[in-house]
Amino acid sequence: MAAVTCPLCEATCGLDVTFEGTRVKKVRGDNADVFSSGYICPKGASLGALHHDPDRLRAPLVKRDGEFVEVSWDEAFAEIHRRLPPLIEAHGKDAVALYVGNPSAHNLGNLLYGRVFYKALGTRNIFTAGTVDQVPKHFSSGYLFGSGLSIPVPDLDRTGHLLILGANPLVSNGSLMTAPDVRGRLKGIQRRGGKIVVVDPRRTRTAELADEHHAIRPGTDALLLFAMVHVLFDEDRVHLGRLTEHVNGVEEVRELASQFTPEAVAGPTGIAAEEIRRLARELAEADHAAVYGRIGTTTQAFGTVASWLVDVLNTLTGNLDRPGGAMFPLAAAGQPNSSTPKPKPFRTGRWKTRVHGLPEVLGEVPVGVLADEILTPGEGQVRALITVSGNPCLSTPNAERLTGALEQLDFMVSLDVYLNETSRLADVILPGPSALERPHYDVALYQYAVRDVANWTPAALPTDLPQEWETMLRLTGIVTGQGPDADIAALDDFVAAEAARRAGLDPAVAARRTGPERLLDLMLRAGPYDLTLADLEAAPHGVDLGPLKQRVPEVLTTASGKIELAPEPITEDVPRLARELGKEPNGELVLIGRRHLSSNNSWMHNLEPLVRGQNRCTVQVHPDDATRLGLTDGGQAVVHSRAGKIEVPVEVTDVIRPGVVSIPHGWGHDPAGMRTAVATAHPGANTNLLSDETQMDALSGTSVLNGIPVEIAPA
């Protein structure tokens, strides 16, 4: 039996895995886990199926004459050595782009050693799944609080009033809010006599559990939130409490909010002015309240302004950094805002993309322009791509154009565990060990946990595969001129010595360890709880570090040392938002996404237990729209957008707002040349053939994946 932290989503559940030899017999929720107390979802329960999936890659693949062949690790690295350094030599570092996908955030080796490789590679063309996800929140937090990683999370277990916008945590299990068993925690709010309000164009499972649901028009959250801010000022309900001396810019916010009256936003948002006033009053009057916005508020045209306004509301109601409000977690390891020296104040746009001149945010550039960077000739043109646990051919906008662009590359490497929609285009595929074959610690996610915890998982099973951190160091050796056989141990010692130096520690303190264990041990030692890895090894079900703590002003790393409530790099986008005020809905249909409990973006559809049953890749249409458009439940429809068209089955349902249709992402497993038998038998259609790569949040470059104009007709 092994106590394992599930690395599949942000909830970090503790699981109990039992084995028969090296076969996984059963996966259950670990009742003794200090954070998840036995909670498990269908994905966690299929960790065994994932480990034993015959299609999961267990050897590197190299494409020879258009066909993938299994090769030894030495041959795979020799191939990369033969092709990558000459390309960099001839065309420069920026000719190699990176695309780093979501599972990297759940993978200790890739997190800690990926950055070593990316830095050695030295390219400015770093693309990630962040610009189809949460980058607006980094942007707003960076300018508000000084660090893009200082993101307040709702103090779920103590709050009395929770306003959720654009999130469906009952299905997603929470995001930028690490909270195993969200359902139990939300019910706890109601048991304590509190209230949950959901703002979402769909009546989701979370909306059904909530006390109140408002079916907003997609893309208009910033208007709603601004109107709530307006009401707070208008009715003299702004009370910063102990934050007063720590906040700059309140008057500027009052002025900016003046034109966003509830009456002015009611038309565009579809929410009545009186309702908006009541939402603001109830938020202000609650003893402890938190506003929480997630991907429905970030992957839209005003993602950054909406993300900013979420925390403006938290601040103006005195709920920021107060128990039961929105608080800053204090993670045990690796949290930049709790380290010494403090990070430099946040800044974006230190460089810009070549073709469109879009600014970097946190060292990343918008994935919406990756195709153009590949297809547009000239100095700095991208000619090679390395994907690290990413599937951009299903996950990013105008996937057809991107796929065409990837086919033009001179060289492509995928670090991936499947031969799928994206990795099939690579020249070399380097697989990593399964979740049960690698150690785990959630360096990234504990920074957003609703309770401070630390939980270490050693590898449960042995493996012949190199760990991905070793692969990262071999790649580092190749791009730094040390060749394919560089001394990995020496490189690792060097990385550890650097990490120790930055943390002001003697590297010898962790000398008996290597790899991620050594780095994590150093990070824990340098962290705020004076822990070591040995302490965590002695506590297989985790260490509880208590409820969230007040951190203002210590957490603030702005130049002023204060919360900058009206930062210019954000407020400069307010005039664009104000232009939405005059616009009346023009009757066009808009497309949004959705998630399912048994999905994990694009990549777990090869597991029978997660795809059996009805086809989930349908377009949901409101009955009124269906009647008007001649669509019938179970019939086929063609959905068109500027970018492309797909055919999907129709699901007529009143859970969706009239004028809005919804299709889940992560489907479309129909390209040739993949090795995913189960997914190929349940292909669905790729909704990112419809999303438009030219549509982005103006500030952060995050793609608009919600609120895409579409036309729909019977097939």
Contact positions vs Mo ion (CB under 5 A): 133
- The correct pick among 40, 121, 384, 519 for binding ligand SF4 (CB under 6 A) is 40
199 binds ligand MGD (CB under 6 A): yes
Q: Are 602 and 392 in contact (CB under 8 A)?
A: no
415 binds ligand MGD (CB under 6 A): yes
Among 5-13, 134-142, 210-218, 320-328, the segment contacting ligand SF4 (CB under 6 A):
5-13
Q: Could you tell which of Mo ion, ligand SF4, ligand MGD, none binds residue 40, using a CB distance below 5 to 8 A set by kind?
A: ligand SF4
11 binds ligand SF4 (CB under 6 A): yes
204 binds ligand MGD (CB under 6 A): yes
Is the Cβ of residue 225 or residue 536 nearer to ligand MGD in the bound state?
225
Give strand pairing partners of 64: 67
Is there a cis peptide before residue 553, judged by omega within 30 degrees of 0? yes
Q: CA-CA distance, 221 to 309, in Å (whole number)?
A: 9
Helix axes 221-234, 273-285, angle to 10 degrees: 60
Nearest approach in angstroms of CB 45 to ligand MGD is 13
- The correct pick among 9, 165, 607, 631 for binding ligand SF4 (CB under 6 A) is 9
- The correct pick among 374, 592, 621, 661 for binding ligand MGD (CB under 6 A) is 592
**Pairing outcome for strands 411-415 and 384-388:** parallel
- The correct pick among 2, 3, 4, 8 for binding ligand SF4 (CB under 6 A) is 8
542 binds ligand SF4 (CB under 6 A): no
Q: CA-CA distance, 216 to 204, in Å (whole number)?
A: 13
Is the Cβ of residue 465 or residue 499 nearer to ligand MGD in the bound state?
465
41 binds ligand SF4 (CB under 6 A): yes
Q: Which two tokens stand for residue 45?
A: 């329960």
Q: CA-CA distance, 228 to 110, in Å (whole number)?
A: 41
Give the dihedral sign, CA 171/172/174/178. positive
What does the DSSP 8-state code read for residue 602?
B
Nearest approach in angstroms of CB 514 to ligand MGD is 20
Q: Are 656 and 621 in contact (CB under 8 A)?
A: yes
Is the Cβ of residue 178 or residue 317 nearer to Mo ion in the bound state?
178
Q: Are 277 and 232 in contact (CB under 8 A)?
A: no
Q: Are 136 and 699 in contact (CB under 8 A)?
A: yes
Q: Could you tell which of Mo ion, ligand SF4, ligand MGD, none binds residue 6, using a CB distance below 5 to 8 A set by kind?
A: ligand SF4
Give strand pairing partners of 201: none
Is the Cβ of residue 173 or residue 702 nearer to ligand SF4 in the bound state?
173
Residue position matching structure tokens 């009715």: 235
173 binds ligand SF4 (CB under 6 A): yes
Give, in order, the Cα–Cα distances in Å from 696 to each of 219, 397, 600. 12, 10, 24
Q: Which two tokens stand for residue 228?
A: 């709530």
129 binds ligand MGD (CB under 6 A): yes
**Pairing outcome for strands 428-430 and 61-64:** antiparallel
Nearest approach in angstroms of CB 399 to ligand MGD is 9
Give strand pairing partners of 5: 14
Q: Are 306 and 222 in contact (CB under 8 A)?
A: yes
Among 1-9, 205-213, 260-268, 447-455, the segment contacting ligand SF4 (CB under 6 A):
1-9
Nearest approach in angstroms of CB 42 to ligand MGD is 8
147 binds ligand MGD (CB under 6 A): no
43 binds ligand SF4 (CB under 6 A): yes
3-state secondary structure 114-146: HHHHHHHHCCCCEEEHHHHCCHHHHHHHHHHHC
Q: CA-CA distance, 321 to 247, in Å (whole number)?
A: 12
Q: CA-CA distance, 452 to 524, in Å (whole number)?
A: 13
Is the Cβ of residue 13 or residue 510 nearer to ligand MGD in the bound state?
13
Q: Are 32 and 544 in contact (CB under 8 A)?
A: no
Nearest approach in angstroms of CB 172 to Mo ion is 9
Q: Could you tell which of Mo ion, ligand SF4, ligand MGD, none binds residue 8, using a CB distance below 5 to 8 A set by kind?
A: ligand SF4
Is the Cβ of residue 107 or residue 315 nearer to ligand MGD in the bound state?
107
3-state secondary structure at position 174: coil
Nearest approach in angstroms of CB 8 to ligand SF4 is 4
Instruction: Count residues binding ligand MGD (CB under 6 A).
Output: 61
Q: CA-CA distance, 681 to 669, in Å (whole number)?
A: 8
271 binds ligand MGD (CB under 6 A): no
Among 18-26, 168-176, 248-256, 542-550, the segment contacting ligand MGD (CB under 6 A):
168-176
449 binds ligand SF4 (CB under 6 A): no
178 binds ligand SF4 (CB under 6 A): no
Is the Cβ of residue 183 or residue 642 nearer to ligand SF4 in the bound state?
183
Q: Are 675 and 418 in contact (CB under 8 A)?
A: yes
Q: CA-CA distance, 253 to 342, in Å (whole number)?
A: 28
603 binds ligand MGD (CB under 6 A): yes
Give, in order, the Cα–Cα distances in Å from 254 to each of 218, 277, 282, 316, 647. 25, 16, 19, 10, 47
Q: Could you tell which of ligand MGD, ligand SF4, Mo ion, none binds residue 12, using a CB distance below 5 to 8 A set by kind?
A: ligand SF4
Q: Could you tell which of ligand SF4, Mo ion, ligand MGD, none binds residue 315, using a CB distance below 5 to 8 A set by kind?
A: none
Helix axes 221-234, 250-257, angle to 10 degrees: 110
Return the residues of window 440-479 that contact ligand MGD according to CB under 6 A.
none
Q: One symbol per residue from 76 to 105: x for binding ligand SF4 (CB under 6 A), - otherwise; what is it? A: ------------------------------
Nearest approach in angstroms of CB 102 to Mo ion is 5
Give strand pairing partners of 155: none
114 binds ligand MGD (CB under 6 A): no
Q: Which two tokens stand for residue 535?
A: 């302490």
Q: Are 300 and 218 in contact (CB under 8 A)?
A: yes
Is the Cβ of residue 230 or residue 595 nearer to ligand SF4 in the bound state?
595
Question: Which of 131, 171, 128 has its CA nearest to residue 594?
Answer: 171
Is the Cβ of residue 300 or residue 447 nearer to ligand MGD in the bound state?
300
Question: Which of 257, 340, 250 has its CA nearest to residue 563?
Answer: 250
Q: Which two tokens stand for residue 279?
A: 């939402």
Give, in order, the Cα–Cα distances in Å from 677 to each of 420, 606, 672, 685. 10, 7, 11, 16
Q: Which two tokens stand for residue 451?
A: 């309770």
Q: Could you tell which of Mo ion, ligand MGD, ligand SF4, none binds residue 202, using a CB distance below 5 to 8 A set by kind?
A: ligand MGD
Nearest approach in angstroms of CB 177 to ligand SF4 is 12
418 binds ligand MGD (CB under 6 A): yes
Is the Cβ of residue 11 or residue 149 nearer to ligand SF4 in the bound state?
11
Q: CA-CA distance, 573 to 589, in Å (whole number)?
A: 25
Is the Cβ of residue 98 or residue 216 nearer to ligand MGD in the bound state?
216
Return the residues of window 614-673 that contact ligand MGD according to CB under 6 A.
665-666
Q: How many CA atoms lie within 13 A of 441 on its CB side?
A: 26
Nearest approach in angstroms of CB 1 to ligand SF4 is 17
Nearest approach in angstroms of CB 295 to Mo ion is 7
Among 30-38, 138-146, 417-425, 574-582, the segment contacting ligand MGD (CB under 6 A):
417-425
Cβ contacts of residue 545 below 8 Å, gap of 6+?
Answer: 330, 332, 451, 452, 453, 454, 529
* Residues that bind ligand MGD in the complex, under the rule CB under 6 A: 9, 101-103, 107, 129, 132-133, 165-169, 171-173, 175, 199-202, 204, 216, 218-219, 221, 294-297, 300, 389-392, 395, 415-418, 420, 432, 592-597, 599-603, 665-666, 687-688, 691, 705-707
* Residues that bind ligand SF4 in the complex, under the rule CB under 6 A: 6, 8-9, 11-13, 40-41, 43-44, 173, 180
